[in-house]
């Protein structure tokens, strides 16, 4: 009897080990997207918005803890793609600088970047911004 129990334990252990990895497949997808977004951020955005998305004076708005980012999720793909050409208010401060759009970015890249922006440092957003979400948002750009 003892041998059978032992056998069950031995056989079942790998199954238990595999379970969590199966359950977090979505999480893996998000993590991969965030990592790819970080690389894009560091190459194209960090110069202005800062290493931790802290922004700079009233020239470059912050991304970390930004009320604008939280309130305008559907606008973000348009801003990345088409740029920012009018003043915006972030956390009570007005920013009048301009930003060029990254027209060469495809929906995948914008999706990576969004997942990073919403998860960088103190931003914690569990939602996953898929390329399809990006595509949908881009259709509404002004």
Partner 1 sequence: MKNSWLLPILCCLILFSCKKPKEEKLAFMGYGETKTVQRDGKEIEENTYPSVPEFEFTNQDGKIINNEFIKDKIVIVDFFFATCPTICPVVKKNTMPLFEKYKDHPDVIFLSHSITPLLDSTSVLKNYAQGLGVDNSNWHFVRGDIEKTIEIANKFYYVSVIKNKEAPGGMDHSGFIILLDKNGKKRYRGKNAYDGQVPSSVELLMEDVQKLIDEKKENKS
Helix residue spans in 45-138 (DSSP H): 46-49, 67-71, 76-82, 107-117, 131-138
> CB of residue 47 vs partner 1: minimum separation in angstroms?
4
User: Judged by CB under 8 A, does residue 2 bind partner 1?
Assistant: no
> CB of residue 36 vs partner 1: minimum separation in angstroms?
19
User: Judged by CB under 8 A, does residue 131 bind partner 1?
Assistant: no
> CB of residue 103 vs partner 1: minimum separation in angstroms?
10
CB atoms within 10 A of CB 124: 8
CB atoms within 10 A of CB 36: 17
> CB of residue 83 vs partner 1: minimum separation in angstroms?
7
Sign of the C-alpha dihedral computed for residues 107, 113, 119 and 124 taken in this order = negative
- The encoded tokens of residue 75 equal 């606008």
Output the CA–CA distances (angstroms, integers) from residue 122 to 75, 92, 106, 119, in the order listed.
Answer: 21, 19, 27, 7
Of 6 and 48, the one with the shorter C-beta distance to partner 1 is 48
> CB of residue 48 vs partner 1: minimum separation in angstroms?
4
CB atoms within 10 A of CB 139: 8
Q: Which residues contact 45 (CB under 8 A, 6 or more apart)?
A: 63, 113
Stretch that binds partner 1, among 44-52, 63-71, 105-113, 127-135 (CB under 8 A): 44-52
Sites for partner 1 among residues 47-86 (CB under 8 A): 47-48, 56-60, 83
Of 95 and 133, the one with the shorter C-beta distance to partner 1 is 95
Residues within the interface to partner 1 (CB under 8 A)? 44-45, 47-48, 56-60, 83, 87, 95-100
């Amino acid at each position: 009897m003892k041998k059978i129990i032992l056998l069950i334990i031995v056989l079942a252990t790998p199954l238990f080990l595999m379970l969590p990895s199966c359950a977090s497949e979505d999480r893996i997808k998000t993590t991969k997207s965030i990592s790819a977004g970080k690389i894009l951020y560091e190459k194209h955005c960090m110069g202005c918005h800062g290493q931790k998305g802290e922004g700079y004076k009233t020239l470059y708005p912050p991304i970390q803890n930004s009320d604008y980012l939280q309130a305008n999720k559907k606008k973000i793909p348009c801003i990345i793609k088409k740029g920012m050409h009018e003043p915006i208010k972030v956390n009570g401060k007005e920013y009048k600088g301009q930003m060029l759009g990254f027209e060469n970015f495809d929906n995948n890249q914008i999706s990576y970047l969004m997942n990073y922006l919403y998860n960088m440092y103190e931003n914690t957003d569990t939602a996953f911004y898929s390329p399809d979400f990006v595509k949908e948002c881009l259709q509404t750009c002004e």
